[in-house]
Amino acid sequence: MVGLGKFEFPTSASQTQNHTKLDHNPNKSKELPNLSFTDNHFKGKTRIENVQTEQYIKAGKIASEVREMVRVKDWIGKTVFEICEEVEGEIEKRGAKCAFPVNASINEVAAHYTAEPNDPITIKDTDLVKIDLGAQIDGYIADTAVTVCYDAQFDGLVQAAEEALGNAMAMIKADVKASDIGRTIETAIKKMGFKPIANLSGHSLDQYTIHAGKSIPNIWSIGGFSLSDSSAYACEPFVTTEQGGGFVRNGKIKNIFALNSRKKTKNQEADKLLDFIWENCNMLPFALRWITKEREEKEARELLDFLVKKKAVTAYPVLIEVNEQRVAQAEHTFIPNENGVTVTTKTE
């Protein structure tokens, strides 16, 4: 899942930055009322211990298997509802939980579109579909994505995203600067005649936290941080055409959500829904589809709208390329070390 960059842009690339569902700042969690900080999910361990590494790797193996299934399957004629439900089912069938709703973002929609209940949007043979999926075991997340292309004229976009990702993985080890990763990604994409999306980025990961405060840019940037061998990260180049603006904007649709507060609302049914979200998703993103498995859709929508208005839940918009040009994406999760990197979502 994509995070919006928290790095400084060069003057020529300056643009107002927004936050997405992925940009959960763990430092702000202390301000959230009634969050259970005695829960194991919030013990705040920062060092990747053996058990954590093992869980990251298990989640990565599952996520990579599902991603490769997605890569080779013919989705033409399938609805995005069918895609999201099938991919999420494959994650669960392998023994993990979904770290977030599967994203099926088509053409100029760069990220953050997941299916509505019974969503009728159907994949055509001209579509470029970014399928972003996440698996988690005990809150340790594997985040990976692939772009499925059925129109040969856009194969180059897909190849550019994959090559940029491969080049980035090849240079990673502990203490490498995030800005240098951004430079590598940008160089690879531009060399192939395309543009990186400047205001989308990869991100650090933590237990039950999809964006743990650090960003891996897709362009060269001033300053930044150095990779730590005590952290896991996701790297995800986004690529658009030469005609693209190289930025994304917020769309009108908001169909991915995340818990913001557990403070009681004095609405009994809404409070029950808050408890359901916490018990099933923790602070990770979720979709309306997941709630309609427990409640009627009309009631679920009304309660979710109420919780958004009460700021107990945050709704996040889809992200659209500013010139409405097509976008491709590739993504891996990795853990750097002194000698190189463990790419948890790489196939054997």
Both 245 and 261 in a single domain?
A: no
State the pLDDT at residue 230.
82
Question: How many Cβ atoms are within 10 Å of 28's Cβ, its own excluded?
Answer: 10
Same domain, 131 and 207: yes
**Is 41 noted as a catalytic residue in this protein?**
no
Q: Is 37 a domain residue? A: no
Catalytically annotated residue among 116, 127, 143, 206: 143
- CA dist 276 and 270 (Å) reads 10
In a domain, 159, yes or no: yes
Q: Considering its fold, how many domains does the chain have in total?
A: 2
Q: Is residue 281 part of a domain?
A: yes
Candidate list 132, 163, 186, 321, residue with the active-site label? 132
Beta partners for 103?
Answer: 132
- Look at residue 8 and tell me if it is in a domain: no
Q: Is the pLDDT reported for residue 27 higher than 80?
A: no
Q: Which of 203, 206, 321, 332 is catalytic?
A: 203
Does 279 share its domain with 247? no
Q: What is the pLDDT of residues 169-212, one digit of tens each?
A: 999 999 999 999 999 999 999 999 999 999 999 999 999 999 99
Is 132 catalytic? The answer is yes
Task: Please give the Cα distance from 194 to 10 (Å, whole number).
Answer: 19
Instruction: Evaluate whether 251 touches 321 at the Cβ level (below 8 Å).
Output: no
Residue 74 is a catalytic residue: no
CA distances from 268 to 160, 230, 290, 303, 306 (A): 51, 42, 20, 10, 12
Residue 196 structure tokens:
């990186």
Find the CATH number of the domain harbouring 268: 1.10.10.10
**Each residue's pLDDT tens digit, 89-122:** 999 999 999 999 999 999 999 999 999 999 999 9
pLDDT digits (tens, 9 = 90+) for 208-259: 999 999 999 999 988 889 999 989 999 999 999 999 999 999 999 999 999 9
| d(C-alpha 285, C-alpha 198), whole Å | 24
Pick the catalytic residue: 116, 236, 321, 332? 236
Q: Are 339 and 218 contained in the same domain? A: yes
- Active site (annotated) includes residue 112: no
3-state secondary structure 284-339: CCEEHHHHCCCCCHHHHHHHHHHHHHCCCEEEEEEEEECCCCCEEECEEEEEEECC
Residue 283 located in a structural domain:
yes
**Are 199 and 51 within one domain?**
yes
Domain boundaries, position 299: 255-314
67/152 same-domain check: yes
Q: Which two tokens stand for residue 240?
A: 């658009």
Tell me how far apart the terminal alpha carbons of the chain are, to the nearest angstrom: 23
Checking if the pLDDT of 166 tops 50, the result is: yes
- CATH number for the domain spanning 77: value is 3.90.230.10
The tokens describing 344, both together, are 């948890």
